[in-house]
Amino acid sequence: MFSISNTSLNRDELHSALSNDKAGAIVVFEGWVRDHNEGKLVSSLEYQVYHELALKEGQKILNEAREKFNLHGIISVHREGHLRLGEIAIWVGATASHRDDAFKATRYVIDEIKHRLPVWKKEHYVDQKPEWVFCRHHSHHVHFEENDYYAKQSSVVNQSKLRAAKVLVVGAGGLGCPVLVNLASAGVGEMTILDPDIISISNIHRQTLYSPNLVGEKKAVVAATRILELNPFIKVTAVVSLVELKHIQHDLVIDCTDNMATKYFLHDACFKLRIPLITASIYKSEGQIRTVLPGSEHGCLRCFSKTTPDDSLLGNCNDFGVVGATTSVVGSIQASEALNFLSTGKNATLGHTLYLNLNDLSQIKVKNTGTACSVCQGDVEIYHSNLEVTGGMEILDIRNLSDEEVFQMKPSGVALCCHRGVRSKKLALSLRERGHKVFSLKGGACSL
Amino acid sequence: MPSINVKYFALLREKAGVESEELTFEGTYLELYSFLSEKYNFDLPGAMIQLAVNDEFSSMNGLVAQNAKIVFIPPVAGG
């Protein structure tokens, strides 16, 4: 059992949890907070742990130890938070019939944890500023100063504004990967990554944060881990979910999604919540990028047509094909626009939408004319919100009905129910855009 | 009849088979789009198309102006 604790470890409790009449030996390793490191006087330590991954990786290490050695039990706990001198930072205990297995297993676990666990350590000193200390992939500690990390960009960005910024990146795919890498390494202080999907093998050619050994893993979680490795001085949160209104509470939203329903939902929500948005889309080797800013004179996507484009008429990257070079360029422009906006409060794609063609390297810039329409004013119905329900209302089973038949019924005040809740959600969204107040039963008939 | 230049993007460019062309047309931009939809088999409704006239987003209901540089931009969603 591997766990993470934010309170002091009780060695007696851990010890007795391992007691077993079959065991002939227990070997315990305790890592303590000591008062010095490389000539500096340490006063305390701070650990930051990336929970979701650390728990998984820690458990994996214990399982490996069980496979390699003949054990009766093995437990490890890693601390997080602020630790005083002398406190236990990590505890590993293994029991076995014979001492050799217990010694080897404990040694294996502590060595692997040191190398593999996503844990960051900040040392506080008696007589100087605290420093982050990096232990991963090094047999010795390496010290880095946060200011040195940003040394070569300090003349081109406003670092303190970037550090204070909270940015939501929706979609961790072709556009999301370059956006995340560039914003993380530039030092955007807090980022939330939202994506409901898992990595598939056909994503990897353009989604540069992933590799074949990660197929099946959650994109948001892997992306968060990867960018924290690039820059441990920032905070990153992964949310494995479709975007909902409750997720949006940031200084800036970056739309890296691949469908109109979500793009227009984000757009409308940002106007309702008065949050700036940088949106981008790709078609084969063409990309378009626009920034919208509620309260500005530059308008919105609905100024000249209130219609939400129908996804079923359009397709996405999986349908029409795209190369990684295209998504990387367009996503990097999006990131650059975000950094300019966060640093200075303005950027180029606020005044003009950029249309870029990577085949002939042509571009056009279209002036973002506003009509101060109702959506610009924030007077907009958010179709996405409270779309899914788990029951509590009349159910309309659509499993034996075609889409057209459901549309003709003009349902209202009911929850559509299909097999798994995927088709019903899509239909409910389309119906809401036509003015019908319908819901979708989450998980479909399978959940009943 | 106003002389105009029409430029196409993304899937409209593929259907039209040309990047841009010179035309004469009298009517609204929506009528122009409908005319071109018939000519090239565009299947996206006009309400889904964004229009730029002389590099500025504009309403489909406006009248086609002499020497207008017109771009029909279909919605694209890839990411």
List, as ranges, residues 48-107 from A with C-beta within 8 Å of B.
none
Residue A130 φ then ψ, to 5°: -65, 155
When mean pLDDT is compared across A69-78, A113-122, A298-307, the lowest value belongs to: A113-122
Residue A443 — very low, low, confident or very high, per pLDDT cuts 50/70/90? confident
Greater model confidence, A431 or A59: A59
The strands making up A415-417's β-sheet, listed across from edge to edge, are A388-389, A439-441, A415-417, A395-397
Chain Cα centroid distance, residue A142 = 27
Please check whether residue A333 touches B, CB under 8 A.
no
State the nearest Cα–Cα gap between A369 and chain B, in angstroms: 6
- Residue in A432, A62, A146 with CA at minimum distance from that of residue A265: A432
Ranking A97-101, A154-158, A212-216, A388-392 by mean pLDDT, the lowest is A388-392
pLDDT number for residue A275: 96
* pTM score above 0.80: no
Question: Which pLDDT does position A141 carry in this prediction?
Answer: 47
Closest by Cα among A229, A219, A310, A299 to A263: A310
The confidence score (pLDDT) of residue B76 equals: 79
- Spell out which residues of chain B touch residue A314, defining contact as CB-CB under 8 Å: 74-77
Interface of A with B in 179-238 (CB under 8 A): none
Collect all residues of chain B within an 8 Å Cβ-Cβ radius of residue A284.
Answer: 10, 78
C-alpha to C-alpha distance for A57 and A414, rounded to whole angstroms: 44
In degrees and rounded to multiples of 5, residue A124 shows phi and psi of -100, 135
Nearest CA distance, A240 vs chain B (angstrom): 18
Q: What pLDDT is attached to residue A259?
A: 85
Residue A95 backbone dihedrals phi, psi, to 5 degrees: -115, 145
User: What does residue B3 show for φ and ψ, rounded to 5 degrees?
Assistant: -90, 135
* A322 to chain B: closest CA residue: B78
User: Which pLDDT value is given to residue A136?
Assistant: 47
What A273-276 contacts at long range (C-beta under 8 Å, 24+ apart), as own/partner pairs, is: A273/A245, A273/A248, A273/A249, A274/A378, A275/A248, A275/A250, A275/A251, A276/A251, A276/A252, A276/A341
Q: Which of A300, A301, A366, A434 to mutate to test the interface with B (most CBs of B within 10 A)?
A: A366
Q: Find all residues with CB under 8 Å of A363, minimum gap 6, and list them.
A: A354, A355, A356, A357
Choosing among B9, B57, B60, which should be mutated to test the A contact, i.e. which has the most A CBs within 10 A? B57
What tens digit of pLDDT does each residue of A237-265 get?
A: 999 988 888 899 999 999 999 888 889 99
Average pLDDT over residues B53-79: 89
- Is B43 in CB contact (< 8 Å) with chain A? yes
Residues of chain B in contact with residue A286, where contact means CB-CB under 8 angstroms, are: 9-10, 76
CB neighbourhood size of B70 (10 A):
23
Instruction: Provide DSSP, A330-389.
Output: HHHHHHHHHHHHHHHS--HHHHEEEEEETTTTEEEEEE------TTTTT----SSTT-EE
- Tell me: the pLDDT tens digits for B8-53? 888 888 889 998 999 999 999 999 999 999 999 998 888 888 899 9
* DSSP string over A385-429: TT-EE-SSS-EEE-TTS-HHHHHHH---S-EEE-SSSHHHHHHHH
- Helices A176-186 and A324-344 pack at an angle, to 10 degrees, of 40
**Selected residue with higher pLDDT from B79 and A225:** A225
Cβ atoms within 10 Å of A115's Cβ, excluding its own: 13
Give the nearest partner residue to A260 out of B43, B55, B77, using CB atoms: B77
Range in A60-64, A315-319, A326-330, B40-44 the model is least confident about: A315-319
What is the rounded CA–CA span in Å between residue A168 and residue A248?
Answer: 7
pLDDT score, position A138: 44
Decide which of A393 and A385 is more confident: A393
**Minimal Cα distance from B10: which residue of A?**
A283
Q: Read off the amino acid at residue A16.
A: S
The per-residue pLDDT for A145 is: 76
Whether residue B75 lies within 8 A of chain A, CB to CB, comes out as: yes
The residues with which A93 forms a beta bridge, in sequence order, are A28, A75
Answer whether B73's CB lies under 8 Å from B48's CB. no
Q: What are phi and psi of A404, to 5 degrees?
A: -60, -40
Subunit contact B77:A259, Cβ cutoff 8 A: yes
- CB within 8 Å of chain B, chain A residues 295-314: 299, 303-305, 307, 309-311, 313-314
Angle, CA A69 vertex, CA A64 and CA A70 arms, to 5°:
125
Say how far apart CA A184 and CA A176 lie, in whole Å. 12
CA A22/CA A294 separation, integer angstroms: 68
Mean pLDDT lowest for which of A209-213, A352-356, A373-377, A425-429?
A425-429
**Percentage of residues of chain A with pLDDT beyond 90:** 65
Interface check for B67 against chain A (CB to CB < 8 A): the answer is no
User: Which phi-psi region, left, alpha or beta, contains residue A211 (left: φ > 0; alpha: ψ -120 to 50)?
Assistant: beta
pLDDT of A284 over the 50 cut:
yes
In terms of pLDDT, which residue wins out, A171 or A438?
A171
Contact flag A171-B79 (C-beta cutoff 8 Å): yes
Is pLDDT at A294 greater than 50 in this prediction? yes
pLDDT digits (tens, 9 = 90+) for A23-46: 999 999 999 999 988 788 999 988
| Residue contact B77–A364, C-beta within 8 A | no
pLDDT value of position A385: 64
pLDDT at A159 over 90: yes
Shortest alpha-carbon distance between residue A185 and chain B (Å): 21
Q: How far is Cα B35 from Cα A300, in angstroms, rounded to an integer?
A: 27
Given this model, what pLDDT does residue A383 score? 66
Are A367 and B71 in contact (CB < 8 Å)? no
Per-state percent for chain B, helix, strand, coil, to nearest 5 = 30, 35, 40
Distance separating alpha carbons of residues B28 and B50, to the nearest angstrom: 14
Cα-based distances in Å from A4 to A55, A56, A218: 7, 11, 21
Alpha-carbon distance A225 to A50, whole Å? Answer: 8
3-class secondary-structure state, position A77: strand
- Is A234 in a helix, a strand, or coil? coil
Report the C-alpha gap between A252 and A141 in whole angstroms: 36
Residue A67 one-letter amino acid: E
- A76 Cβ neighbours under 8 A, 6+ residues apart: A1, A2, A3, A58, A61, A62, A90, A91, A92, A93, A109, A113
A172 touches chain B (CB under 8 A): no
Distance CA A341, CA B52 (A): 25
Pick the more confident residue, A219 or A49: A219
Give CA separation, A196 vs A112, A220, A243, A294, in Å: 30, 8, 8, 27
**Contacts across the A-B interface (CB distance below 8 Å):** 100
Contact B77 A281 (CB under 8 A): yes
Q: Which residue in A108, A11, A32 sits closest to A69, CA to CA?
A: A108
Helices A176-186 and A219-230 pack at an angle, to 10 degrees, of: 30
Structure confidence by residue, pLDDT tens digits, A112-154: 998 888 788 888 888 888 877 765 444 444 567 788 899 999 8
Instruction: Measure the CA–CA gap between B14 and B23, rounded to whole angstroms.
Output: 18
Q: Which residue has the higher pLDDT, A445 or B39?
A: B39
Nearest to residue A383, comparing CAs of A313, A430, A443?
Answer: A430
Estimate to the nearest angstrom the gap between the alpha carbon of A305 and the chain centroid: 33
Range from A52-56, A94-98, A151-155, B29-33 carrying the lowest mean pLDDT: A52-56
Any B CB within 8 A of A175 CB = yes
